Chain A
Amino acid sequence: AQSVTQLDSHVSVSEGTPVLLRCNYSSSYSPSLFWYVQHPNKGLQLLLKYTSAATLVKGINGFEAEFKKSETSFHLTKPSAHMSDAAEYFCVVSSGNTGKLIFGQGTTLQVKP
Chain B
Amino acid sequence: GAVVSQHPSWVICKSGTSVKIECRSLDFQATTMFWYRQFPKQSLMLMATSNEGSKATYEQGVEKDKFLINHASLTLSTLTVTSAHPEDSSFYICSAPISGGLNYGYTFGSGTRLTVV
Q: Do A and B come from one complex?
A: no
- Chain A residues with CB under 8 Å of chain B are none
- Chain B residues with CB under 8 Å of chain A are none
